Structure 1
Amino acid sequence: MKPVYVLNGPNLNMLGLREPAIYGSASLKDVELRCHAHAASLGLTVDFRQSNSEGELVSWVQEARGKASAIAINAGAYTHTSVALHDALMAAERPAVELHLSNVHKREAFRHTSLIAPAVNGVICGFGVDSYVLAITALHSLITASKKG
């Protein structure tokens, strides 16, 4: 089976250092290890990536169309600004979940709007590192359902 792409946007490389009261103390490497372990428990593999560049994230989403079974994306600030990511996700034609560590709806008003949410199957936010685990679980369900249908 093709891997699940777990894509991380800007500033997520600073996890564990940046605003731990909001984002927690886990590093991005900790998150990656947790994703690999959970995916393996479901019979999946993960291709885990991070970039501060919007263009690179768009390229990875486009790549996922042929090389991934699904996409979990924490686009960070690009969630609220990137029409390009929205369009790439629409073109990817893969199950996809938007995720966030924090509950964006309890934060600044500009974080309440997601431009990528209309292009994904669902949104998970506010569960810290468990948001990634929940996203992988949801994608496993979507992948399994698509094989039955």
Structure 2
Amino acid sequence: MAKQTSRSNAKPIYVLNGPNLNLLGQREPHIYGTTTLADIEAMVAKHAKARSASVTCRQSNHEGELVDWIHEARTKGSGVILNAGAYTHTSIALHDALATLDIPVIEVHISNVYKRESFRHHSYISPVAKGVICGLGVQGYTLALDAILADIV
């Protein structure tokens, strides 16, 4: 799923979501709420448009596809907002791909991972991210967008 809003000559901010985030709104609503991924993408696109920016939103359950999109963002994007889902805690491949970027990366988690199982307390993404937003619900995405725009506008 890809959605891009229009923007003058600037490159879009990539909003990448990892495994199981396609089930938002259905999966564990007591943790993640009832907002769907489509709702989040629309919210972020509207937020970007109001700031004369654009986003490219994508989701995959496949690690390699996420790596490919991060590589694409190297030349086609102005920043990356990444909710890597469970890959946050397991993927050296995502870490290595993000380490190649010269654009800002913000790691986002809808839930507060530090109030959950201990295996969720370690992130392979954080060391290569400019910042981390967790536990602020879906608003974390718009906060991440604002953080990136503060660097590139």
TM-score under structure 1 length normalisation: 0.95
Residue 78 of structure 1 pairs with residue 74 of structure 2 = no
Residue 62 of structure 1 pairs with residue 64 of structure 2 = no
Higher helix share: 1
1:125 to 134, 138, 143: 134
Superposition misfits of 4+ residues, deviation over 6 angstroms: none
| C-alpha distance in 1 between matches for 2:120 and 2:29 | 18
**SS in structure 2 at match of 1:123:** strand
Pairwise CA distance, 1:137: 0.7
Any gaps of 5 or more consecutive residues in structure 1? 145-149
Residue 39 of structure 1 pairs with residue 41 of structure 2 = no
Pairwise CA distance, 1:92: 1.8
Q: What does 1:11-30 align with in structure 2 at a 5 Å threshold?
A: 11-30=20-39
- Alignment RMSD: 0.6
**SS in structure 2 at match of 1:92:** coil
Which residue number in structure 2 is paired with residue 5 of structure 1?
Answer: 14
Any gaps of 5 or more consecutive residues in structure 2? 1-9
| C-alpha distance in 2 between matches for 1:16 and 1:23 | 7
TM-score under structure 2 length normalisation: 0.93
Code of the residue aligned with 1:127 in structure 2: it is: L
| C-alpha distance in 2 between matches for 1:52 and 1:40 | 27
Pairwise CA distance, 1:41: 1.4
Matched residues, number: 144
Code of the residue aligned with 2:72 in structure 1: it is: E
Sequence identity (%)? 57
Code of the residue aligned with 1:89 in structure 2: it is: L
Code of the residue aligned with 1:22 in structure 2: it is: I
Pairwise CA distance, 1:67: 0.2
Which residue number in structure 1 is paired with residue 3 of structure 2?
Answer: none
